[in-house]
Structure 1
Amino acid sequence: MVTSTYYYKGKFGLERETLRVDSQGRLAQTPHPFGHDSNITRDFCENQLELVTPVCSSIDEAVEALAELDKKARDVLSKNGESIWLYSNPPHIDSEDEIPIADFTGDHSSKRAYREILQQKYGKKLMLFSGIHFNFSFSEEFLREINANNEDFRTFRDKLYLRLYKHLMVNSYLLVLLTAASPYYDASLDKGGKNGIIIGEYSSLRNSKRGYWNKFLPILDHRSLKSFTGSIKKHIVTGSLYSASELYLPIRLKPKGVNSLENLAAGGVDHIELRMIDLNPSAPLGIDIRDLEFAHLLILYLISLADSDLTPELQEKAVSDHKNAALLAPDTKLLERGTSVIDEMEKHFSGNDKALEIIAFEKEKITSRNHFKNSIVSASVK
């Protein structure tokens, strides 16, 4: 039974990536029209928009902030005959010339240099995949309340977030199963200039083996924050990674202020980021608030679990499960695992009617995925 007043409290933030398109639904070729607005920026390319909410005290507040930014962006874009492409997969592309690298200059010119490295390693098309990043931190009052042994606060906080990180990595597949929303893609993603809409083998291309992944699997050391940041640093020193930003895993531990490995090592963990949520084209803002509420409940459930050792073998399995969950017909055992986790969450939140309502909403998705998979199997047998 949850007794803490601060259990459901925390800080929340959203980052929504989208693309700017012209009246023909093609990538806009105009410069980023929002200047140096830190809340409406771009990620890899000049025609990509990233709406970044301020830190909020609830998910409702974060979604309201996203709605305000969305309206502001749409108002400016409409004057230029442009709109927002609210799909995770990009529109038709004739060639990579339509994907200009974000034009960062002056003090930010290093950002452009980094993106040029990404272009050389991964190509431009990969960088067009867009999604929702969900940022969360526990309230300090809650962390101090559960620090029963009066451990050094920063040490306790870092250990808790690292434990949560490991559990979220192992269970990232579940959020993919529940938020995958991009089964269709334009044929030009396979070959520039090719026409036609394709429904392939994936429910989420960006989370699949075709999506955002490094050329190798970065094995990390999770024994402590020091060993964790040190293991990332080793990949950078050897040249496997250009920087910590190139670590393409679905979960990130992030510091307060400037997001750098040095800052994380020096100041500790401030919040955790979930990066796997697809844009939902049926939701006006690209996100169903119930999916965010479920992600929060999953976080709260996972911190109730004992610590575990995320061995190299388990890291490989976690990534494999994540990619498997992005299939239109994921492995039956994975669906069963997802159902089992949700069943345990129902027990954990048995006294909270709102939480149970959200969990039931997500559980129905797993049931639907099972029915869909069974129908595919039956059709193939016939």
Structure 2
Amino acid sequence: MKVLRVSDQLATNVDRLMTPARKGLLGRLRRGIEKEGLRVDGEGRIVPTPHPYALGSKLTHPHITTDYSEALLEYITPVYCRPADALAFLGDLLRFSYRHLGEEWVWPASMPSRLAGNESIPIADYGTSNVGTMKHVYRKGLDLRYGRIMQSIAGIHYNVSLPEDIWPLLQSLEGREAESPKGYRSARYFDLIRNFRRNSWLLLYLFGASPALDRSFLGAAGLDGRCDKLKPWQGDGETLYAPYATSLRMSDLGYQNKVQSQLKICFNSLSNYVGTLRHAISTEWPDYQRMGVEEGGEWHQLSASILQIENEYYSDIRPKRVARHDETPTQALEARGVEYIEVRCLDLNPFLPLGIDEPQMRFIDTFLLWCLLSESPWIPDEECDRLDDNRRLVVERGRDPALRLQVGERQVALAERGHEIIAGMRQVAALLDAIEGSDLHLAAVDSLATRLDDPESTPSARMLRELQAHGGEWADFMTGLARRQAEAWRTTPMDAARASLFDELVETSHQQQHDIEAEDQVSFAQFIADYFARAREPRPAA
């Protein structure tokens, strides 16, 4: 049996942290979940109806909003130390929603339901306030630049912050006390992010669940007949698939932006990240200039820059900090450092009622801490290109036995490299279990690692296997699953205290939106001019 080597730095870090973990001197990770899902009708088509008033204001509600489309629900949990608590809250958000969705269902898959062209995806409307208008115009700009089809894709965003007490311990162990605590924490979060970028293909393989889609997706995007990556599922039917694909959502059929690719953000430092994004929102792009920004009071996009705002930059992971009312996301990072990270490469698993479950959360937690505690040199441009190639190969052919990844100077089978990572993750799982007094992290790692040697056990393979058993089209299969999940959510009770909270938030969120609209004192044009004037200013730490 081959002995897998755990890096010296990882082993040293885990060993040094194990004693304080066993003594109860290390806190738990904190995490929150954002889950997206399209509202559809009984035939699996996106509904044209507005966001239900009974769910509250999508502008101000802290837990129920919309993403790009009026039909694309987004559920946001509070931050919890226990995965089960986040999942319980998310479940009650679904139960509450189904009290008010009538005959509509929440689509369980990442790739969208049946589409009837670009216009079948209604852009979200956030009211008449300047901030609400800005959110709407931003989405109009996304339509102008990329079309609405890409914006109809759904997923899970997983937000994680490491225990605050781990940072001074690591800083002391590494002999870096001369650095400011804020600067050290941000630098180490960027270490984590670089290792994530090197190895996020593992999450795409293990959790990707979108190997098939409805043909209308390509037709609406203007790609029908011009995509050689997909095959018809059966004859001239409406389902297309890639035999070995894991996550078409993360392929160039999904989130992509060729203009953004020139930014070359490989997350080597906070200053590089902030500076690159600030350059992108300040530098106009000729194609976007030709599209126009505003004409006769009609706004087409927020600006003609490479990015309208920082959130337009697509990435599988982001450094984050909660911004104050007068800050952009990068200004918040610049002023007070990284607070948490947002994992953005996770498909909805249609076979899980919430799209994610506790073992997956614990595996991701372990993976992220492994990324932090392992060596993480800076990424040069040529390595950045190789990492993009690895991710592309896994999303398109992840279950292909012939697939090889480029890891440093060697070509290696996906399963072999995956087991090397898992060997290190097991040590990190033991550390997390010592913090919690359980064996749940190690159990999650061991359970999900079996998918490396059995590609048929992955969600993407299960999708194709159950689609075969269904015997019909993918959209019909997903529609039936949406119906069964809706019935389950409608018939299970929710926590009484949370039910009262959600009822209260409906009223308060509508009142908050009304107050915001009544308080506006300047025109939208002036509001946007003031916003971009502030956004281009550096915000160094006090």
Whether 2:319 is the aligned partner of 1:253: answer: yes
Which of 48, 57, 67 aligns to 1:29? It is 48
Mapped contact 1:208–1:324 kept (Cα < 8 A): no
- Superposed CA RMSD in Å reads 2.3
* Alignment correspondent of 1:378: none
- Separation (CA, whole Å) in 2 of partners of 1:289 and 1:203: 21
Seen in structure 2, the aligned counterparts of structure 1 residues 371 and 274 have a Cα distance that, compared at 3 Å, is closer
Counterparts of 1:215-364 in structure 2, within 5 Å, are 215-216=258-259, 217=261, 218-220=263-265, 222-238=267-283, 239-257=305-323, 260-328=329-397, 329-330=399-400, 331-332=403-404, 333-349=413-429, 352=433, 353-364=439-450
- How far does residue 72 in structure 1 lie from its aligned partner after superposition? 1.1
* Alignment correspondent of 1:74: 98
- How far does residue 244 in structure 1 lie from its aligned partner after superposition? 1.4
SS in 2 for 1:62: helix
- Separation (CA, whole Å) in 1 of partners of 2:113 and 2:387: 30
Which of 144, 155, 166 aligns to 1:131? It is 155
* Alignment correspondent of 1:156: 184
- Separation (CA, whole Å) in 1 of partners of 2:94 and 2:145: 32
* Greater relative CO, 1 or 2 (CA 8 Å, sep 6+): 2
- How far does residue 181 in structure 1 lie from its aligned partner after superposition? 0.7
- Separation (CA, whole Å) in 1 of partners of 2:26 and 2:353: 30
* Alignment correspondent of 2:300: none
Deviates more, 1:49-58 or 1:340-349: 340-349
Render the CA deviation track for 1:42-74: whole Å, top value 9, x for unaligned.
000000000000111222211111111111112
* Alignment correspondent of 1:101: 123
* Alignment correspondent of 2:203: 175
- How far does residue 343 in structure 1 lie from its aligned partner after superposition? 2.4
SS in 2 for 1:303: helix
State the aligned residue count: 371
- Separation (CA, whole Å) in 2 of partners of 1:175 and 1:144: 29
SS in 2 for 1:302: helix
- Separation (CA, whole Å) in 2 of partners of 1:132 and 1:371: 21
Letter in 2 for 1:196: E
Whether 2:246 is the aligned partner of 1:203: answer: yes
- How far does residue 350 in structure 1 lie from its aligned partner after superposition? 5.3
SS in 2 for 1:91: coil
Mapped contact 1:335–1:370 kept (Cα < 8 A): no
Mapped contact 1:280–1:288 kept (Cα < 8 A): no
Seen in structure 2, the aligned counterparts of structure 1 residues 348 and 292 have a Cα distance that, compared at 3 Å, is closer
Render the CA deviation track for 1:322-347: whole Å, top value 9, x for unaligned.
22211243524333322221123234
SS in 1 for 2:379: coil
Deviates more, 1:334-343 or 1:178-187: 334-343
- Separation (CA, whole Å) in 1 of partners of 2:426 and 2:362: 14
- Separation (CA, whole Å) in 2 of partners of 1:8 and 1:208: 37
- Separation (CA, whole Å) in 1 of partners of 2:135 and 2:385: 30
Render the CA deviation track for 1:299-327: whole Å, top value 9, x for unaligned.
11122112311111222222222222112
Whether 2:389 is the aligned partner of 1:367: answer: no
- Separation (CA, whole Å) in 2 of partners of 1:196 and 1:296: 38
SS in 2 for 1:317: helix
Unaligned residue ranges in structure 2 (runs of 5+): 1-14, 225-236, 284-304, 405-412, 434-438, 461-542
Which of 217, 227, 231 aligns to 1:189? It is 217
Render the CA deviation track for 1:6-51: whole Å, top value 9, x for unaligned.
5561211100011001122211111011232221100000000000
Deviates more, 1:280-289 or 1:322-331: 322-331
- Separation (CA, whole Å) in 1 of partners of 2:268 and 2:43: 52
Letter in 1 for 2:110: S
Letter in 1 for 2:195: H
- Separation (CA, whole Å) in 2 of partners of 1:206 and 1:300: 26
Letter in 2 for 1:186: D
Seen in structure 2, the aligned counterparts of structure 1 residues 7 and 327 have a Cα distance that, compared at 3 Å, is farther
Counterparts of 1:85-124 in structure 2, within 5 Å, are 85-105=107-127, 106=129, 107-124=131-148
Render the CA deviation track for 1:187-238: whole Å, top value 9, x for unaligned.
1011149961222253211111212122242312644312221122222222
Taking structure 2 as the reference length, the TM-score comes to 0.65
SS in 2 for 1:124: coil
Q: Identity of counterpart residues, as a percentage?
A: 29
- Separation (CA, whole Å) in 1 of partners of 2:169 and 2:379: 27
- Which is higher, the Rg of structure 1 or of structure 2? 2
Render the CA deviation track for 1:171-193: whole Å, top value 9, x for unaligned.
11111111101112111011149
- Separation (CA, whole Å) in 2 of partners of 1:6 and 1:250: 32
Render the CA deviation track for 1:85-127: whole Å, top value 9, x for unaligned.
0111111112222101101231311011111111111111111
Letter in 1 for 2:40: V
- Separation (CA, whole Å) in 1 of partners of 2:426 and 2:314: 31
- How far does residue 292 in structure 1 lie from its aligned partner after superposition? 1.1
Letter in 2 for 1:363: A
* Alignment correspondent of 2:37: 18
Deviates more, 1:271-280 or 1:213-222: 213-222
Letter in 2 for 1:230: G
SS in 1 for 2:70: coil
Seen in structure 2, the aligned counterparts of structure 1 residues 25 and 70 have a Cα distance that, compared at 3 Å, is same
Render the CA deviation track for 1:269-324: whole Å, top value 9, x for unaligned.
11001001110111111112211110000111122112311111222222222222
